[in-house]
Amino acid sequence: MPPNSANSEPLLHDEVKEEQLEKLVAPQAGPRKFQIVYPNLITFGYGHISLLYGAYLMFTFAKWQTIVFAHVMIILSGFGITAGAHRLWAHRTYKAKMPLQILLMLLNTLAFQNTAMDWVRDHRLHHKYSDTDADPHNATRGFFYSHVGWLLVRKHKEVKRRGKLIDLSDIENNPVLSFQKKYAIPLVSLVTFVMPTVIPMYFWGETLNNAWHVATLYRYVFVLNVTFLVNSAAHYWGCKPYEKSILPSQNHFVSLFALGEGFHNYHHVFPWDYRTAELGNNTLNPTTKFIDFFAWIGWAYDLKAVPDDMINNRKSRTGDGSSLWGWGDKDQ
């Protein structure tokens, strides 16, 4: 079983009171009965069949404009997750003025990964209790569970118990995110599903079938899976130059698709760095460039980055000796 950084502490028992929870480590993958949520199984099943069908249509019947449109939206909605939900709202690695917050909220809605408020709650738990039963996508339960399985079953009671203790005051007091939560159903219907289907039909005469399966479902489920890879593949494969005792790893393949979010060993060690990576890794990091651009026009500010000497100290103390790019060159 993979290591739990606080293994020496006692395990949690059911009867432990809420105020004691903070001091106790969550069980890593205790015995568990899964309660399957069948409507999710059906919708995710339909979504994934549509992903494959949409990919087939791209190579056969869809218009090139629809394909370009779908991929532009993949990147834009990806920024709604990486620069928005992840680096801005979950980790507060930088601050954003109102126009950028609104833009990111809309892009985040296009990606529809629950409301940003719920996303942040789960993600803060993921960092605080990584790879234990209090982590919503606990990777010690296997690749499939951490990828998508966790969305097909009721959450572990430790997630709900410990999730109540997570401080979300900044998020709950954010008017843009409150708006997104309040109008989630009309916003998601319109931005995630109706608008991307109607635009190709109206502007370049695409068929409903192609627009729905390529611009809407392929585009949506593709981004979901790239996001899921950060929770699964980047907790399984890659090197650990910063902290060898944890599962999160530097996975360049994931970074390539996830707009720079695959440098996961670094990110779990320094979650407050807006780059989520060392400077040298920024070539595979379009999200950092996105934030830099908005900092340049003055919409993003107070960007936080870890000083190089702190990174190097940490590497030499707790890293696995691999290089920046993780080729295992211990001398670099």
Closest alpha carbon to 220 in 76, 62, 35: 76
d(Cα 150, Cα 41) in Å, to the nearest integer?
11
Structural tokens at position 48: 């994934």
Residue 150 vs 206, nearer CB to ligand ST9: 150
d(Cα 292, Cα 303) in Å, to the nearest integer?
9
The answer to whether residue 252 forms part of the interface with ligand ST9 (CB under 6 A) is: no
The interface with Zn ion within residues 229-268 (CB under 5 A) comprises 248
d(Cα 66, Cα 56) in Å, to the nearest integer?
13
Residue 191 vs 206, nearer CB to ligand ST9: 191
In the list 110, 159, 233, 311, the residue contacting ligand ST9 (rule: CB under 6 A) is: 159
Residue 44 vs 325, nearer CB to ligand ST9: 44
Segment contacting ligand ST9 by CB under 6 A, of 10-18, 101-109, 211-219, 225-233 = 225-233
Tell me whether residue 153 is exposed, middle or buried, using C-beta atoms within 10 angstroms of its C-beta: 0 to 12, 13 to 18, 19 or more: middle
The answer to whether residue 116 forms part of the interface with ligand ST9 (CB under 6 A) is: no
**Contact status, residue 291 vs residue 273, Cβ threshold 8 Å:** no
In the list 18, 23, 30, 40, the residue contacting ligand ST9 (rule: CB under 6 A) is: 40
Cα atoms in the Cβ-side hemisphere of radius 13 Å centred on 130: 23
d(Cα 28, Cα 129) in Å, to the nearest integer?
9
The answer to whether residue 131 forms part of the interface with ligand ST9 (CB under 6 A) is: no
Segment contacting ligand ST9 by CB under 6 A, of 11-19, 57-65, 99-107, 218-226 = 218-226
d(Cα 106, Cα 273) in Å, to the nearest integer?
24
Residue 136 vs 248, nearer CB to Zn ion: 248
Q: Name the residues that contact ligand ST9, by CB under 6 A.
A: 37, 40, 78, 81-82, 86, 112-114, 118-119, 121-123, 125, 136, 151, 154-155, 159-160, 163-164, 223-224, 226-227, 230-231, 258-259, 261
